[in-house]
Structure 1
C-alpha cells in the first residue's frame, strides 16, 4: 500500500489492531454497505469505497464505519482505480447490479494489477462460470443464489433439505432410500441410531445419507399427478371451477326436475322396474319424445311432459356449460392461474432475482409452488411457464390475488419482491386470510426486519444483503467454501478448489485428491471449461488451472488446499465465517 494511503487508514482506525489488508468495493446499495461493514468490523480490514454521483445520491452513507474511505467518480476508469490504490490492494469487489458494467470494470482493474483478487457480483451464474476464466484470480458470486436457500429453509422449516446450486444443477442431501441410484452423486455418511456418523466412508455404497441431484417430484408422484390431471375427477373439478355458479344452479334445477319426474313415472308403473329401465325411459322421453298413450294416468302424462320440457332445456344448458368451461380453462392455462384450488403448497410473491431462484429450488425439490408477480414479463415468468409452475399476475397486496393463489391452504407465504411496503402489506394481508400462516418476508433493512418480526408477529424476516455479505467477504479473503451440509453434529463443506501450476496435485490423478472420511471429489471443471463433469474417473490426470469440486471435512479441505496450492503461495485455512 502506498505510504499516503497507509497513513490515511492509520488515522481512520481507532482500535489500534493491525489491518488485514486493503480492499476496494465498488457500489453503494445495501449489499455494498453490509460487505464494507463485514470487512471493516469483522476482518479489521481497510476499505476504499468507490461510488458514482448517482450512487452517492441514492445509495448508502459509509461515514459511520471506521477505516472506510469514500471516493466518487463519474465512471470506473484507470484514474479512480489508481487513486483508490488498486495496484497494492488485497482485493476488489464489484457489487453493483450491472453484470456488464462489473465485467468491464474488472478488465480495467486487471490491466492495472494483473495479480489482483477479483470478486464480481453477477446474476447470470452461467455467464459467470465463463467470465472468471478470463481473469487470473476471480470469484463470481450471486447474492440471490446465496440468499435463496435461506428463504427455502425458512419456508419448509424442519423438513428443508440441505441443498445448493452448482453447474446448473440443484444438489441436496437425502436418504439413499428416497432417491433413485442413478441420481446419487456421492455417499456422505453412514448413520446409525446411538452412534456417531461415519462421514465420507471408503465404501460409498454403504452410505445411507447421500448427495443427489434434485429433479423435482419422484416419478411415481409425477405419474399419479398426471392421472389426476387427466382423469374423470380432474375433468369434473375443471367443470366445477370453469362453469359459473349461475350455470351450475340452472343445470342442477333442470336435472332435479328430470329426476323427480322420472321417479314419479317409475312409481306409477305397475310393472317391475330396474335402474336401467328407469334411466332408459327418462332418456328416451327427454330426447326422443314420449309416445302418446290415451290410457296413461294423469301422473304419467304430467311426468312425461316435465321430462320432455326439461330435456329441451337441458341440451342448450349442457352445450353452454361445456363451452364456458373450455373457454375459462384455456384462459386460466394461458394466464397461469390455478384451475383448481391447491393445498399444502408454497406461495412465492415476487419473481425477481431471489424469487426466481426460490421457485426453481422448490420445484426441483418436489415442493408444490405457486408464483405471484404484478409484472407478467418479470425475470422468473419464463421459468415458471417452462416448468408449468402456476403463475398469477397481480398485486399480492390485494386479497383476491392471494385468494386466487389458495393462500388460505398453503404451507407458507414467501414474499421477496423489491418493494418493502408491498412486501409488508402482502404479509399482513396473508396473515388476515390465514392467522396461522407461516410468512417469510424479505426486507432490505435488517434492523427493520427484526422490529417488524417482533411488532407484527411475522414468523421470519430476511435481508438478502445481510445473508449474502459474509459470502462476498469470504470470497475476497480467498476462501473456497461454497456450501455446507450438516451431518449430526458435524459439518461437511462443499468447496471449489483450483489446481495451481507447480502444486502437488498438478499432474496427479484425481484419485490423489480423495481421502477416506476427509475428502471426496464430486466434479471436475477442466481448464477452459465452463460446466463441471460430474463423478470424474479417478485415474483422470489433473492439469494446472483445472478446478475440482469436493465435499470435505474442515481438516480434509485444509489438506487439499495445501496439495492444490503453488509452493510459493501462502496456504489459507477456510475459517468458520466462510462456512456459516
Structure 2
C-alpha cells in the first residue's frame, strides 16, 4: 500500500479508526469518489488488503501526535472523522485537530451522551454522532413490526410505508401521487430499488411508497406511524396478576407449611364440632369451632371457650393443637417473611414486574444500542423488559430510572426467556455487541416462541452477514448498525443533509436532500 504524498494532499478526507462503523464509512467515502486517508495503529492484514483494494491510503499511527497530523495536511482537507471505538481517543484527536485548524469540518463518534454534548462546540463546523441513536429507530420498527416512518422534506412531513399489493396493475394507476421506493416481488425474486411509476406489480408484492399523509388518504391507504397507548388492565386482571405474583413469590416450603397448618385447622374444626359439649349439653357450631381453633393455635384464649370440663381425649387434642399450631405458625411466619424479602429483592431486579406483563417488548442486551431502543420504546408508550447478562452494566441505572425492569441472566437459556415472558411478548430485539451471540439468542428465542408469529429484530454488524442471516436463518429480522449509521457520518463529513436511514426487507436505504442547480441534473 502506497503512503500518501503530503505535498499533493488537497481536498482529501482523513479517517481516524478502521474498526466497527469506521470500515463502512471509509467504503462509502471511496465510493463517493473521495481521496481517503485512514490512520489506525494496529490494522490487520485483511484490513490493509481491503484499503488497498478500495484505493484508500493507510498510515500506521494513533493520530495523537502533532507531527502525524501535520503530515496529513489537515488544513487542506475537506473533513476529519474521529470514529475510533474509544470516546476518549476521539476527544483527544478532535481537540488536537481543532487547535491546528479552526475551520476544518470535524465529525466525532461519541457513544457517551454527556461527552457528545460537551463536544458539540469543538465539532463546529462538523457534528457529533452516536451510532446507537442513529440506528435505534430501525430496530424499534423491526421489533414492533411497524411498516411506516416519516422524514421531513423542506418542513413538510413525508411518510415512507410498505403495503401489500392486492391487485395487479401499474404503480401509477394503483397509488396515484405516491412514489415507489422499492418493490419486493411475491415470488421471492430480488428487490427492485427505486422503480418507475409505470412498473407493473402483481398481487401479493410488497411495495414501499413515499408521499404525504394527504396522498395516502387519497388512495385510502392506512399507515401505522407507531402511535401506541398503554392499555390499563381491568381490575379483575390486576387482582389475578397480583395473586399469581404472590403465589409465585413464595417458595415450596412455605406452601407446605401453610397447607399443613390449614389442614390442622380443618381437622380441629371437625373434631370440635363433633366432640365439644357445654355443661348444658350445647354443641359447638362450625363457626365457633373455627373461632376456638384460631384462639387455641394463637394461644390467646379469651375465656369464652375452654377445654377444662371436656373429656380427656379432647383435652389431649388441645395439647396437640397448641403445640403443633404454635410451631406451624412460627414456621409459616418465618417462611412468609423470607418470601416477602425475596419478593422485594426480586422486584428490585425486575422479576415481579415481569410477571404481569403482556404484549410487551423484550430487549436482550443492554449496550448503547439496546438502552437507546428500550428508552425509545418506553417513550413511545410500549411496555418494555430487558434481559442483561452483566449485573454491572453501566446502562442499568438509566433504564431502571425510566421504570423498565431488568432481568439478569443468559438469554439463550429457556428459563431466562420464560422469566422475561417471551411467550407473552409482542416483539423481541436482540441487541448485544456480539454477532454470534445475537444469532444464537435469536434462534433460541425463535424456538421458545415457535407457536407464535412475533417479530424478532437482530443486531448484526456486518452488512453481508445481516443479509445471509435474514435470508437463510429463521433467527429474526437482521439489521446492520454500520449500514444504518455510516451514511450519517459521510453526510456530515461532506456537508450533505441526510434525512434518514431505513430498511426495506433486507435492503438498506438512505434518504437525503440534494440541491439541484441549473444544468446539473440528478
Matched, 1:247 2:254: yes
On the 8 A contact 1:147/1:468 being kept in 2, the answer is yes
2:20 maps to which residue?
Answer: 30
| Deviation of 1:82 (Å) | 3.5
User: Residue 433 of structure 2 aligns to a residue in which SS?
Assistant: coil
2:488 maps to which residue?
Answer: 471
2:189 maps to which residue?
Answer: none
2:383 maps to which residue?
Answer: 368
Measured at CA, do residues 102 and 139 of structure 1 come closer, stay the same or move farther in structure 2, by a change above 3 Å? same
User: Residue 62 of structure 1 aligns to a residue in which SS?
Assistant: helix
- 1:28-72 CA deviation, whole Å, 9 max, x = no partner? 11311111111222x2322221211x2447967533643322222
1:452 maps to which residue?
Answer: 469
- Tell me the distance in 1 between the aligned counterparts of 2:53 and 2:373: 33
Measured at CA, do residues 79 and 430 of structure 1 come closer, stay the same or move farther in structure 2, by a change above 3 Å? same
Measured at CA, do residues 135 and 371 of structure 1 come closer, stay the same or move farther in structure 2, by a change above 3 Å? closer
- Tell me the distance in 1 between the aligned counterparts of 2:64 and 2:45: 17
- Tell me the distance in 1 between the aligned counterparts of 2:359 and 2:286: 41
Measured at CA, do residues 114 and 284 of structure 1 come closer, stay the same or move farther in structure 2, by a change above 3 Å? closer
2:448 maps to which residue?
Answer: 433
User: Residue 471 of structure 1 aligns to a residue in which SS?
Assistant: helix
2:102 maps to which residue?
Answer: 114
Listed as ranges, the gaps of 5+ residues in structure 1 are 10-20, 165-172, 174-188, 198-208, 486-492, 496-553, 560-569, 576-580
Matched, 1:129 2:117: yes
| Deviation of 1:140 (Å) | 0.9
Q: Bigger relative contact order, structure 1 or 2, given CA contacts below 8 A and separation 6+?
A: 2
User: Residue 251 of structure 1 aligns to a residue in which SS?
Assistant: helix
Measured at CA, do residues 275 and 292 of structure 1 come closer, stay the same or move farther in structure 2, by a change above 3 Å? closer
- Tell me the distance in 2 between the aligned counterparts of 1:442 and 1:255: 53
Aligned length: 442
User: Residue 63 of structure 1 aligns to a residue in which SS?
Assistant: helix
- Root-mean-square deviation (CA), in Å? 4.6
User: Residue 432 of structure 2 aligns to a residue in which SS?
Assistant: coil
Query: How do 1:148-187 residues align onto structure 2 when only pairs under 5 Å count?
Result: 148-158=136-146
- Tell me the distance in 1 between the aligned counterparts of 2:360 and 2:61: 48
**Correspondent of 1:40 among 10, 19, 30:** 30
2:205 maps to which residue?
Answer: none
**What's the TM-score, normalizing by structure 1?**
0.63
| Deviation of 1:142 (Å) | 0.8
Measured at CA, do residues 75 and 190 of structure 1 come closer, stay the same or move farther in structure 2, by a change above 3 Å? closer
Matched, 1:147 2:135: yes
2:88 maps to which residue?
Answer: 100
2:269 maps to which residue?
Answer: 262
- Tell me the distance in 2 between the aligned counterparts of 1:399 and 1:278: 48
1:51 maps to which residue?
Answer: 40
Measured at CA, do residues 279 and 366 of structure 1 come closer, stay the same or move farther in structure 2, by a change above 3 Å? farther
| Deviation of 1:122 (Å) | 0.9
- Tell me the distance in 2 between the aligned counterparts of 1:285 and 1:161: 69
Query: How do 1:402-441 residues align onto structure 2 when only pairs under 5 Å count?
Result: 402-435=417-450, 436=452, 437-441=454-458
- Tell me the distance in 2 between the aligned counterparts of 1:431 and 1:30: 27
1:283 maps to which residue?
Answer: 294
2:169 maps to which residue?
Answer: none
Measured at CA, do residues 386 and 343 of structure 1 come closer, stay the same or move farther in structure 2, by a change above 3 Å? same
- Tell me the distance in 2 between the aligned counterparts of 1:273 and 1:477: 94
Measured at CA, do residues 302 and 350 of structure 1 come closer, stay the same or move farther in structure 2, by a change above 3 Å? same
On the 8 A contact 2:307/2:318 being kept in 1, the answer is no
- 1:110-132 CA deviation, whole Å, 9 max, x = no partner? 34443222111111334323422
On the 8 A contact 1:36/1:47 being kept in 2, the answer is yes
Q: Which moved more, 1:314-323 or 1:348-357?
A: 314-323
- 1:397-417 CA deviation, whole Å, 9 max, x = no partner? 333333332333322332221
Measured at CA, do residues 301 and 366 of structure 1 come closer, stay the same or move farther in structure 2, by a change above 3 Å? farther
- 1:281-304 CA deviation, whole Å, 9 max, x = no partner? 553454457633878899x99998
Query: How do 1:306-325 residues align onto structure 2 when only pairs under 5 Å count?
Result: 311-325=325-339
| Deviation of 1:468 (Å) | 0.6
On the 8 A contact 2:487/2:498 being kept in 1, the answer is no
| Deviation of 1:146 (Å) | 0.5
